[in-house]
Each structure stands twice: as C-alpha cells, then as structure tokens.
Chain A
Amino acid sequence: MRPRTTAALAAGKAARLVSRLRGGGSALPGLVAERIDPGLLAHTLGSMPRGVVVVSGTNGKTTTTKMLVALLRAHGLRVFTNPTGSNFTRGVISALLGEVGLRGRVDADLAVVELDEAHALHFAAQVAPTHALLLNVARDQLDRFAEIDHTARLLTTLGQATTGGVVLNADDSFISRIREHLQPGVEVGWFAVDPSVADRLPELQEADVRFAEEERPDLTEGAALLLPAEDGRACTVRLPGGSDVGPVTLRQRGLAAMINATAATAMARQLLGESFAVDAAAHALATVTPPFGRGEVIDVGGVPLELVLVKNPAGFTVALGTYGTEPVATMIAINDNYADGRDVSWLYDVSFESLRERGVALTSGVRAWDMALRLRYDGVEVGEVETDLDRALDRFLALHEGEPMRVFTSYTAMMHLRRRLADRFGLARFGEDPAA
C-alpha cells in the first residue's frame, strides 16, 4: 500500500471519529481522505475479488442498493456498501473508512455502491465498475444536471465504462438505449414489469418527455419480470428460464418498490449465476427494511408516522400514488438547499389531487409558502403554514396525537426531521442502520 493512501486513510478515520462524536454528517471524512489521496478508491476497491457494482439512476437508488445487498448477503457473500444514501463519491469513501484497515484492505467479496449520476462517472474514472445496475432517468435537480438528456448521457458513459455486466430497465427508453453503447462482450440483463401491468407504468414515468415512437426493446435476451399480485401488496419476480422469486410481500409499499426489487433480483441473478437460490432471495426481499426516510415507519407513541422522501416529480408522483390512496394526517416539508434542488418549480409537475379529500395539515420548510400555494392550485386545503421545521413537527404531532401520520419531505428537511424524531422516539442514528 502506498504511504499516501495510508495517510489518507488515517486522516479520514480521524475525521470520521470526530464527526461521529459530534453526531455530524457522513460526507466530510470522505472529503478529507480524498483530498490527501485522490487515488484512494482505486487502491482500496480496485482489487475486490468479485468486483464492484454501481447502482445509479434518478429514483430508487437507495432502496434498490439495500435490496441488492440483502440478496447477496443472503447468499453468503460479504458485501461492502454505502448504506446511508450518501451517494456522492466522498460518501463511498466515508463508508469505506469504517471498514478498511490502514493497509487498505476491505474485508469483503464485492462492493455494491449507490452513486448519483454525476458521481457515478467521477467514481468510474477511478475504479472501473465490473457491473452496473441502471434504473431510470427522470427530472431531478435540474439546477445540477441541467438537462434530462445530459443525465441520460452520464448513465450511458457509465454503461460504457462497465467491464463485466449491466442490468438495464427495459421500460425506460433512456436506459434501454444504453445497450447500443456497451463494450463488446459485456453481459446484458434486463428488468421490466410484466406486460399485463404495463398500463401502470405511466404513473411512474415522465410522460411528457417520452414519445410514442420509442418502443420497448425486444426481450429475447430474457428479462426479470415483475408480476404484482391481485391484492396489490405481494409480488413475484419471474426470472428468465422459468423460476420465480416469490410471491413476496415487501416491507415498503407501492409499485416503485416492487420494480426496485425486480431490478435488484435481476442484478443478483447476474452476479450469482447458477448459485442464485430463489428461496434465499425471496426471504431476503421479504425481510429487508425500507432505508431511512424512504417510506420508513416510525413508532410515535404507538401510532405509525411514515417518513417519505420526495425529491423530484416522478418520485413525488409515485409516493402520492403509493400513499395517497390511504389518506392520513399529512405534513409536507420542502427546503431548497443544494441537496434538495434549489429550484422548486418541479412541484408544479406533480398532481396533488389525491390529497384533496383529506387536505394537508401543515406545510413547512424554507419553501412552506410556495408548497401551500402549489396545493391551492390543486384545490387541496392547507391547515397551517409554519416555515420552522421544529415548530411544525411539534404542532403536527400535537394536532394529530394518537392518529396515523405521514410526512412528505425533501432531503435536508427529512434529515432534520428524522434527527428530531430519533431524539424523541429512540431511533437508530444515521449510518447505523441495524438491518443494513
């Protein structure tokens, strides 16, 4: 191991310790270590015996990564991952600092890392991924990515850099087209919804940027197909060759989570080959818990409070489709910090009609007034507007004591609210996910 790498690891580990003691965020130690040794990732992850898997796309990265890790661990593999949803390169390094010795050896068979579209490339420039699982492209934080087409190009470049195998979403034309750009010999796997439920896809997609002439690719190469059960809660993942995983009831609700499970299963099948076991896979999917703030259910004095992260039109639309059919007391918290997306225009690309019946008890966050104004244009009544998150949470909990509650929240507001809820109701801290 190079002295520089050792120095970087030592400094990063020290920063991590300090940061943990202060209960702070997960990115800073990674930043410190990366400054000292820009080649740190290559020197630590480059030699994983079974490779490096990158999971990327606009929506579902954190959930899918967690599911894929659970599937692989259920098959006895030792997996390094970045479990906190800190999907910038420095988040990966921060996670690495917890697991790596100063000599740079990680005690794992393979790495599964979640990266946002831009950082996936930054990462791939240092460590060529052996595998990539590419989920979808939707409008998200255009102040950072500027254009959807640009995002699609980033993921295409990631696909091009991948050396062993990719798994692509057959239902998303931005993703399925990546097949034409892969290196020769790279194995291609697919996931898709079963044709019998294809009519439900528009609820997940950006209809206005997809055009009729783009058809689903021919799936002769075989795809993992999602088949939801009649009751809407259970689902089966049908693998090429006729074997089924499930029916299994996921801990996280909705069609989007089922599609994430299908994507993770397809990737696990590609990685494991013949040693893939359907029973172990079904058990893993049934037991994996939702990541923090992504439909996480918090026990608030005996009643459930659902914390639902929303970051972009497709994600918010899916969340409303998943939860809106069961109206409960609702709060919406929207900040406009960098990690939330500074432009809140996207709220006008979401339909809030499903909230009309019950109304919204409170809007909060820096853009609480803009959120309330948006709801007014969909005829949704808003009880109160309180920009201060702490006061809003107190008020919300007091107003609806003993009732089921739900909070839709942008990223930094979610981090803030969850910290408060963790203090009050004794939850695990970030980065210490017990089920990871």
Chain B
Amino acid sequence: MSSHPADGPGDVDTPLPADVAALADVPADKGEVHLVHLYPREMSIYGDLGNTRCLASRLRWHGYRPVVHNHHPGAPWPGRVDLVLGGGGQDSGQLRVQEDLAAQADRLRELAAGGVPMLMICGMYQLFGKAFITAEGHRLPGLGVLDVTTRGNATRMIGPVVLDTDFGAVVGYENHSGATVLGEGQAPFGRVRHGHGNDGSDGTEGARTGNVIGSYLHGPILPANPDLADGLLEAAARRATGDWAPAQIDDTLARQAHGHQVRRLLG
C-alpha cells in the first residue's frame, strides 16, 4: 500500500450515487475490487468515463465493493490494481500523458502479463500498441502490450459499429483517423459486421491478448454490452477475491439498447 491518501481501502475517487448503490438489493460482502482509470481528464473525450461508471455500478450490483482510482499524470500509482481502463483523447491530451505513461510502462506491461484485465479505448488502444506512425512518417513508440501498429490517416473512420466477439455481438461507435494493423499472430478483439474497424479493410476491430482488450469503440462500449462488462469483471474479481459470484442484474434496458442497434445496423 502506498501512503497516498487516495489509496486507503474503500476510498472511492468517483463515488457511486447512493441511489445506484441502493438499486442493488444485495449486500456488498463479496470483497473489494480496485479499478484504475488512466488519465480521466486528458483521455476520456467521448464519454469513456461511462465505462468506469458502468463497471463500478455493476460490481456493486453483483455484491462487490468497487474502489475507483482516477490516475492523473505525475500522481503516485495506486497500491492495488485489479482492472485498468483508458479512453480516447485529443492529440493535446496524448502529449500531456506521454511522460507519465512512459514512467508507468514497465508496471503496466507487468500487470498485463500477470493477467490484470484492461480495456483500452481509441487513443489509449493506440498507445498500448507497438507504435504510432504519424502522417509525416515519424515513429512514436507505444507500450507494446498489444502487437498493433497505427498509422496516421487523412480520412477519419466514423460511424456506428457492430462486431462479433468472444463476448457475443458488441455495439458501439468509432471515430478515429489512425489506421491500425495487427501484427502476425495478434488476435483481434472482434470481426466487423458493420462499420470500418481497425483499418477499414481487413475486417478486424481492436486487439486482444489475454485479458487486455484494445478497441476503437466508444458508446461508451460497456453499458450497452453487459456481457463484455461482466467478462472483464469476472477476471478482475477472480484476481481480487479468488472467486466470481455474480448476482442477477436486471439488464432489460441494456439488452434493448443493444438489440435495437444490432437490428438497425444489420437489418
């Protein structure tokens, strides 16, 4: 445990509204699960905070106690990490986090190799890859957690998306100018059924290695894809408590929102 006050047990940086917690008619007695949101100020331009809110709420509804750490550039690293989230940002946001990300690089690679579930969206997906090559040809190295390389592109890939993934159909919205290519042997996160995906031509979207998922999908991706959310939580809870004991959650709204988009986009 670090001595930073925000790392105290049960100290929630982004508290759940009391009424959301109250929606859970189960006690929070299955243990704490610590979520780290990387750079929520600089890298969460398209509602990516909703992913963190979704996971924290679902943990509570499943009977766990969520602890959310908002990690800002230069701040001490949280003492306990069971799941890591990152979102999309602007070029200026990426510049602001670069130094801190380099400082945390070894730690993040270690956590990823150790099976900590991670969800990296858009800009952070690119930064978790091997490199980003700008339109001018400059090569900016990434963390290399995922074997993907992204090239700056003149045309943006924008629009609603439906994927086939290991977690079933996944819906979301992409908005990226980078074209990403998977390295040999790198598994994608999903196959594109509607939308552009990694580079608009190879039919893949995102990348997945173990419990680390990179994807371009905003939406935000988790609320309307509860099976994906629970897939990440299962890995996090097993790591944190040694077990995964989900409760029954009423996902009527999520399944309707999901099904509506799937039907609309696939016809």
| Interface of A toward B, CB cutoff 8 Å | 139, 142-143, 146-149, 208-209, 342-349, 353, 356, 367, 369-370, 372-374, 376-379, 382, 385, 387
Contacts and interface: CB of A to CB of B under 8 A. Distances in A.
B253 A372 contact: yes
B178 interface: no
B256 A369 contact: yes
B77 interface: no
Contacts of B46: 142, 343, 345-346
Give the 4 A-B CB pairs with smallest separation, nearest first.
A348-B50, A379-B19, A345-B47, A348-B47
Interface stretch (B104-112, B182-190, B219-227): B219-227
Contact of B175 (A208, A343, A348): A343
B71 interface: no
Interface string B88-101: 00111100000000
A385 B256 contact: yes
B45 interface: yes
B49 interface: yes
7 contacts: A147-B91, A344-B173, A345-B48, A346-B47, A377-B20, A378-B17, A385-B256
Contacts of A379: 17-20, 22-23
B128 to A, nearest CB: 20
A377 B53 contact: yes
B66 to A, nearest CB: 13
Given A208-B44, A377-B53, A348 B257 contact: no
Interface of B: 17-20, 22-23, 40-41, 44-50, 53-54, 57, 90-93, 156, 158-160, 173, 175, 177, 218-220, 223-224, 253-254, 256-257, 260
B257 to A, nearest CB: 4
A148 B92 CA distance: 10
B173 A369 contact: no
A104 B237 CA distance: 71
Contact of A369 (B93, B219, B257): B257
A345 B260 CA distance: 16
A356 B21 CA distance: 13
Contact of B92 (A142, A149, A348): A149
A343 B173 contact: yes
A378 B15 CA distance: 11
B17 A149 contact: no
A372 to B, nearest CB: 5
A139 B23 contact: no
Given A143-B175, A146-B175, A148-B45, A348 B20 contact: no
Nearest to A351: B17
B45 A142 contact: yes
B156 A149 contact: no
B90 A356 contact: no
A139 B27 CA distance: 38
A365 to B, nearest CB: 11
Contacts of B220: 345, 348
A376 to B, nearest CB: 6
Contacts of B53: 348, 377
Contacts of A353: 17
Contacts of A382: 253
A143 B158 contact: yes
Contacts of A346: 46-47
A148 B57 contact: no
Nearest to B96: A211
Contacts of A374: 50, 223
Contacts of B22: 379
Contact of A373 (B44, B93, B253): B253
A377 B175 contact: no
B196 to A, nearest CB: 13
